[in-house]
Amino acid sequence: MLFSLPWILGFVLLHAGPMLMAFALSFTDWVFASTPEWRGGAHYRTLISDELFWTALRNSAYYAGVTVPLGVLIALGLALLLNRDWPGMGMFRTIFFMPALVSGVSIAMVWGWLFNPRFGAVNSALDKIGLDGPGWLGDPRWAMPVLISLGLWSIGGTMLIYLAGLQSIPQELYDAAKLDGAGRWAATRHVTLPMISSVTFFLLVVGMISALQLFTPAYVLTDGGPENATLTLPLYIYQNAFAFQKFGYGATITVVLIMLTMAITLAQLALARRWVFYAGLGAR
């Protein structure tokens, strides 16, 4: 049991403890290095009438609601295309996976430059086919789609997990489907998709959790703007705590983010019975 000691300490001190503490702090005012001051449910009442909070909630929902399903779909499409032993597949796999390695500030900067309205590659390409590109990050309607495009570009990890899932489907199932006269499309629809539904489920759950965390590009590229179009919940938490020194209120939004994440995860678990198919997939 001594082996588990680091985790027992870590769970109590770094995960469970801080979460309870966030909950406790959400009822207080705490300014750096002072004693927390009890405020009761005041922050929660503020929250309800705080328009920025609702904007941040909407933005996070918008980002996650588009990026996660679309990203999973694209990753599945790529994995299906690559799941052949034709020459060159390894090279393509590497190319599609590479973007997943470069999260962080560096790629956010590249993205901003790519979508630069005047000197960027995107508007230059649009110009070549006779289209007039928008102002992207400077335009409240287009700023979030730019961040979504960055999220969709970085789906290499999802694709690799799908590829592993596809390769674990027994060949006999395809042979049987073929005997029954199923063509390629029917086999994909009735064998492949059900057999990897548990992978899809896992990827949707994990994807939602991480999409609700969107912070770095929103902070680096737009700092929540323009007109708060990219203000996400984590960014609003960060601003409250570290820019406005409102740790108590930041903790209140944190509690909402935790609840939201858990609610979405539980809802997905509940819905999973309807569409996720578990074959006897060995020891899990």
Partner 1 sequence: MSGIQLRGVSRRLGSWPGRILVYTMLLALAALFLLPFYWMLATALKPQQLVYSFPPDWLAGDLTLANFREGWTALPFGRFFINTAYVTMLTVAGTVLSSSLVGFGLARYGGRLANLLFVTVLLTMMVPPAATLIPRFVIFSRLGWTNSYLPIVLPYWFGVPFFIFLFRQFFRAIPQEYFDAAELDGASPLDLYFRVAVPLSRPAFVAAALFSTLIAWNDFLDPLVYLSTLDKFTIQLGLSSFRGQFIAELHLMMPMALLAMLPVLLLVALGQRWIARGLAPDLEK
Structure tokens at 256: 């909402």
- Whether residue 18 has a cis bond before it, omega within 30° of 0: no
**CA 148 from chain center: how many Å?**
10
Amino acid at 20: L
Token pair recorded at residue 68: 């996660």
Alpha carbons 192 and 185: distance in angstroms, whole number: 10
209 or 272: CB nearest partner 1: 209
In angstroms, what is the minimal distance from the CB of 272 to partner 1?
14
Nearer to partner 1, 66 or 206 (CB): 206
- CA 18, CA 97: separation in Å to the nearest integer? 35
CB of 127 to partner 1, least distance (A): 7
Q: Burial, 148: exposed, middle or buried (Cβ in 10 Å; 0-12, 13-18, 19+)?
A: buried
Q: How far apart are CA 72 and CA 148, in angstroms?
A: 13
Rounded to the nearest whole angstrom, what is the least distance from the CB of residue 50 to partner 1 in the complex? 17
The residue among 55 and 216 lying less far from partner 1, judged by its C-beta, is: 216
Minimum distance of partner 1 from residue 130's CB (angstroms): 13
If the CB atoms of residues 66 and 100 are measured against partner 1, the closer one turns out to be 100
Angle at CA of residue 31, ends 29 and 34, nearest 5°: 100
Smallest distance, partner 1 to C-beta of residue 109, A: 5
Q: Which is nearer to partner 1, 25 or 144 (CB)?
A: 25
